[in-house]
Amino acid sequence: MAPYGPRRRPGPHRSGQTPIRTNSGSDMPQDDTHLELCPAARDYLGRRRYGPLIDGVETGAGSTDLIETFNPSTGDSLGHIVAGTAEDIDAAVRAARTAFEGPWSEWSPYQRQAMLMRLYDHIDQNYEELAQIESTDMGMPITRTRGTKDFILRTIQFFASQALNIKGETLQNGLAGNVASMTVKAPVGVIGGIIPWNGPLGSQWWVLGAVLATGCTVVLKPAEDACLSILRTVEMLHEAGLPNGVVNVVTGRGSVAGDALARHPGVDRIAFTGSTVTGRKIIEASAVNIKKLQLELGGKSPDIIFADADLDKAVPGAALAVFNNSGQICYAGTRVLVERSIAKEFAERVAAFVKTLRIGYGMDENANLGPVISEAQIARVMSYIEIGGKEGAKLVCGGSRLGGDFANGYFVEPTVFSEVSNDMTIAREEIFGPVMSIIPFDSAEEAIRIGNSTEYGLGGAVWTSNISAAMKVVNGIHTGVMWVNFYGQVDPLVGFGGTKMSGYGAKGTSAHLDTYLYTKSVYINII
């Protein structure tokens, strides 16, 4: 029995081979690796209607403006979310302001840390439910979603430690008399957190952790394409004892609820992860009250592979830097710059590696790759694949939407283009899908030049056995984070951020906390 809901959104039927066997009598492919939902996840997904959570209460029960949400693996309807309005945002901001100015403001650092550690335990104990909700709602394979658990728990631990690490300074001054001077750090106030759809379960903690560590409050606006894991997480926070109003969620469209949040004069700071186009709009909207901003925007990251690299590691590493999460990662290494002498071999080896990857539904425990998020997103990816061919790139493998048992889902084959030049559309624009562009280079200087020939500056990597060459590239590439001989792992103790049109503001380290705080200078005349 399919656990995803009774209604299937009509979709095209295409021929094509799939690695999943169909089971006669079922309306979805199944085999012995397909995981049935646990009772808690099944009960939650059985609600079929989800509304804003404001001041600890689900609202919008009478709303008629609803957005249908789908399982991207199957096209099945998961139910409806309430399309939040500007009035809902206003109510959530008022609740957050009341909480910020109420008893929450009197919590000590030790109490906030203890709260975070209670949340750590609660998330740890209930993570399987959250993982299954996430994999059903946005299609990320369940093994990858489960693999995110350690990162989420480490992130909560990091912010719990930071709750005790907020400090000012005592400073000298040149004033006459007996004047002491110091600075103190104080919470900014109400935060607006706009969370993307490409991994909301983990993304939300960059905001939630900082809010709870500093004593701020927050209104979250998750993406309408994938918000169920966030709604359930916030329910869990309240189950663990978080006071009402500290964390609020308003579901809905970015053009309505997101815009209202960005423009609301009662919001002191916006944390946003998403497209550069939307980021520009948020910057403009922030002028209403000069909001502080943290923006993680688009990317077109270079992954540079020298001829002396260990290809047994570089091939799968570079491939998964593109294909993980079906290419839906902001800092995905989609421009793969390969030294010309090994470019042909590299392309052949990547194509062979792709054949070892299993594409499957979000709840397929053996799947490496899942669907993209929506029908609109797969149309976008397929349009770029078509453009790549027209502009002269050589299709090495992939390039098609999957049919057969996958026809009603949003699956596209991992796609590799070789003989790409950096002026081609597929090398310039962020696709946000499983599409690799292999660009040849002849020298480290050329690789650096090509790597920097983009408006973005979010991620990048270099693969080589020569540490001097590696550091030359690391120092030469203008980007927020670089990896050497691996790709994509981050830790809040080190953090990352963007430059150029990939945004600004740190994620991780004490610099992250600083943007949720403001500095107050204090002068004391000792009389």
CB neighbours of 26 closer than 8 A, spacing ≥ 6?
1, 2
Q: List the one residue out of 353, 499, 394, 406 whose CA is nearest residue 22.
A: 406
- With contact defined as beta carbons under 8 Å apart, do 218 and 45 qualify? no
Kindly provide the b/e burial profile for residues 112-127, where b requires at least 16 CB atoms within 10 angstroms of the residue's own CB.
bbebbeebbebbeebb
Range list of β-strands (E), 25-154: 49-50, 53-54, 57-58, 66-70, 77-82
What is the C-alpha to C-alpha distance for residues 316 and 330, in angstroms, rounded to an integer? 19
| Catalytic residue set | 296, 330
For CA atoms 451, 486, 323, 80, give the dihedral sign: negative
Q: In angstroms, how far is CA 326 from the centroid of its own chain? A: 13
From residue 405, how far is each of 29, 74, 186, 410, 471 by CA, in Å? 6, 9, 55, 11, 47
Kindly provide the b/e burial profile for residues 188-222, where b requires at least 16 CB atoms within 10 angstroms of the residue's own CB.
bbbbbbbbbbbbbbbbbbbbbbbbbbbbbbbbbbb
CB neighbours of 106 closer than 8 A, spacing ≥ 6?
none
Token look-up 């916030």 returns: 234
Token look-up 């010309």 returns: 340
Q: Rounded to 5 degrees, what are φ and ψ at 507?
A: -115, 120
